[in-house]
Amino acid sequence: MSMAQAVEWTRDALQARIDRAPFNAWLGLELQDWGHGTIALRLRTRPEVLGHAAINALHGGILASILDTACSMAVVTATGESVYTVDIRVDFLRPATAEVYTIQAKVARLGRTLATAGAEVIAEDGQQVACGRAVLQHIAQMPAGRPG
């Protein structure tokens, strides 16, 4: 990954950027760590996000949601720009029956307007429960932190 210039983020500004999406705020996605083109988020389950009441597993769409957000935010750490997901693939590897998850994303390629990023969802026991790969478009906008 190569980029023209670095973008500086504070924890509060990056968490605010995540929460600019009401669904991220509702999910309670919490910023754990970040770098230039990488991010780690944390999700605690809540009863409404289950896909099956009997086995207490996350709905696949929730896994897709947090993988999508993590891929987008990994691009945001590097560009600060507006980011739109063009497409995403999600592989569901194991039942997501944990209480808390870490989501790690990394930009694999950052082009002038397009980026490709990968992410994985890790349960408390260290098991990978899902992974994803997304293509995203990033577009210059007003200064970071102001809605584009």
Residues that bind a copy of itself (CB under 8 A): 20-24, 26, 47-54, 59-62, 64-66, 68-69, 84-94, 108-109, 113-114, 116, 118, 128, 131, 133, 135, 137, 147-148
CB of 10 to a copy of itself, least distance (A): 21
Closer CB to a copy of itself, 18 or 31, in the complex: 18
Compute the distance between CA of residue 66 and CA of residue 103 in angstroms, rounded to an integer.
7
Closer CB to a copy of itself, 35 or 60, in the complex: 60
What are the tokens at 10?
A: 């504070």
CA distances (Å), origin 17, targets 45, 52, 55, 59: 21, 31, 33, 24
Residue ranges of the alpha helices (H) in the chain?
A: 11-19, 22-27, 60-79
Closer CB to a copy of itself, 13 or 26, in the complex: 26
